[in-house]
Structure formats: structure tokens, C-alpha cells
Amino acid sequence: MPTLRYTVPPEKDGAPVRHILKAELHFSARAISRLTRTEGGILRNGQPVRTVDLLHTGDELAVLSSDLRPARQQPLPCDTPLPIVWEDEHLLVVNKPAGMVAMVSSFYPETPTVAGALAYQRRESGIFHVVNRLDKGTTGLMAVAKSGYVHNLLRRSLHTEGFQREYRGICLGCPEPKSGLIDLPIGRDERSTVKRMIRPDGAPSRSRYEVLEEGNGLALLRLLPETGRTHQLRLHLSAIGHPLAGDWLYGTEDPDLIPRPALHSCALRLRHPVTGELLTLTAPLPEDMERLLAPK
């Protein structure tokens, strides 16, 4: 099972186990309570230890980081290809295809899910925690934590230097100026269960864009979301008069052009929450978006 290991430095000599779990390893009080009830959940130098016991310089604390209780609902395995770009015992990064959602939802009960594809590939039950969710039609890189503990650490780092996302989008027409910041608040559209809208009382939302290429009445954009609102990039581009090609919700549906919003998560740069390693991962533009840019 995934295990965290922490060697006590001189400046933490005499600290109780609970302090290290909370202040250094960032376990919640609830998670610590579960660990104390789990055999082998917390070990000091290979032996069980209480949370009130004191630690000394050089002691090694080993703590289980896997989920300690089963998921309320196991994902339904589905035989859908899902490339894995990077993986270790704590997390993995997939290259999500179009037409797949992160988890089962009431909106798409029959749609293949990332969790289901992973369950099928591994032939085993498990809990998969999606960190940066992508819409059903959006392709590209998605980080998936293998435990609630790692998921919580990664969620804390979203929209910081420790977790940066970059997208490619193809929009109708070409924005002017050719680079800039879209700073428009986003809230729910009360007339729809799905749609969002620009509204003064919405949550602060910021997206940076840069035109990389033009052709065929379209523009390829580099997109950097500084916040993470639902449908943020799609709505922001629509709001400045340049919706994504194929965006049936915020633009014009055109299956002959592309049957989905032309949006792709092309790069992730994240600091591994356990090892501290800096991961820089990329995924090439999918074929259906490449085709839009090909000379006619």
C-alpha cells in the first residue's frame, strides 16, 4: 500500500506524532483518527506508535496514504482506451479522449468514465480521485490521485505555481488584440442546469490567451486559465465574440466542422505532493483539431 516516509530532522526533535502528521504531512484530524484505527497505519522505525508519543531526530515515521475505507460506489469498468502518460504509486496522469467524463454523473449516466476505464485496465477495484476535471468533449491531460490524501494536497495547489495547466483551443475568427487577459465573473445560468453565464455577482474568473496560428477562418489559441470555473475557457471566448469551434453550448453546433468544442489540455506542470519532483507533461494536439488547421 502507498506509504509516506518522514525522517525527523533536528529542529523537530521532541515533537509528538500528531504534530508531524498535521503540520508536516498535512493529514486532517479525521484522517488521523482513521489511521489510529488501522493496523500498521502509523509506524515509528517499523513499530506501531501512538499519536501522543514523541519523536526524536533520525526517527522514521511511516504512514499509510491509501484510502482506508472503500468507495461508496465502485466505478463500472468500461473497455475504453485511456492512455496513461505518467504514473507512480501516488498518482497518475492520463490523456483523456473526447466523449469520456471523469466520473459517473446524472447528466451522462451511460457515458464511459475515466474511473471506469482505469478499473477495467487494472482488473481491480479502486478509488480514483480526479484533480483537474475536463468536460466530456475536452481532450488531454488530466491528473488522477490514487488516494484522498494525495487528492487533497493536489487540490490545494491548483491555480498556483505548483499546478499549472495549459490548453490549446481553436476559435471562430481571430481575437483582437492577439493576446490578452479575459477577466469576467462567471455564475450559473438560472435558466439551465448545465450552462454558465457572465454575471456581475459571479465568481472572479480570469483566462489568458495568445493567438498562435490563423487560417480557414479560425485561430489556434494558447490558453492559460488563472482560475478554474466550470466551462471557463469556453464561456470567456464566447463572451469576446470568438467561441470555440464546435461549441454547441456557447457557440454554434457544427458536426461537419468538429463534433465537440475544440479544446485540448496540452500541458501540465505540477509539483509532486509527496516526492517534491517537478513534473512537466505534454500531449500533442488531437487529429480532429489538427484537421481544422490543415490547408484547404
Task: Give the pLDDT confidence score for residue 73 in this predicted structure.
Answer: 58
Q: What is the 3-state secondary structure (H, E, C) of 44-86?
A: ECCEECCCCCECCCCCEEEEECCCCCCCCCCCCCCCCCCCEEE
pLDDT digits (tens, 9 = 90+) for 72-131: 556 677 888 899 999 999 999 999 999 998 876 655 667 888 888 888 887 765 678 899
pLDDT in tens, 234-279: 999 999 999 999 999 999 999 999 999 999 999 999 999 999 999 9
Looking at residue 94, its pLDDT comes to 97
Mean pLDDT (whole number) for 156-162: 88
The Cα–Cα gap between 62 and 7 comes to 9
Cα separation of 162 and 157, whole Å?
5
83, three cell numbers: 492512455
Q: What is the mean pLDDT of residues 279-286?
A: 97
Q: Is the pLDDT of residue 7 over 90?
A: yes
Q: What is the pLDDT of residue 210?
A: 98
Q: Provide the pLDDT for residue 284.
A: 97
Mean pLDDT over the full length of the chain: 91
The yes-or-no answer on residue 79 being catalytic is: no
The DSSP line for the chain is: --EEEEEPPGGGTT-BHHHIIIIIS---HHHHHHHHTSTTSEEETTEE--TTSB--TT-EEEEE-S-SS--SSPPPP------EEEE-SSEEEEEEPTT-BSS--SSSTTS-BHHHHHHHHHTS----EESS---TT-EEEEEEESSHHHHHHHHHHTTBTTEEEEEEEEEES--SSSEEEEE--EEE-TT-SS-EEE-TTSB--EEEEEEEEEETTEEEEEEEESS--TTHHHHHHHHTT-PBTT-TTTS---TTT-SS--EEEEEEEEE-TTT-PEEEEE-PPPHHHHHHHS--
Looking at residue 244, what is its pLDDT?
Answer: 98
The pLDDT value given to residue 116: 87
Would you tell me how many other CB atoms lie within 10 Å of the CB of residue 180?
14
The model carries a pTM of 0.86
**pLDDT value of residue 189:** 95
Q: How far is CA 189 from the centre of its chain?
A: 24
Please check the confidence at residue 41 and state whether its pLDDT lies above 80.
Answer: yes
- pLDDT value for 3: 85
Contact 262, 204 (CB under 8 A): no
94-108, 132-146, 169-183, 187-201: the lowest-pLDDT one: 94-108
User: Could you give the C-alpha distances from 45 to 9, 71, 241, in angstroms and in order?
Assistant: 14, 31, 62
**pLDDT tens digits along 196-226:** 999 999 999 999 999 999 999 999 999 999 9
Selected catalytic residue, list 13, 59, 67, 135: 135
Percent of the chain with pLDDT over 90: 73
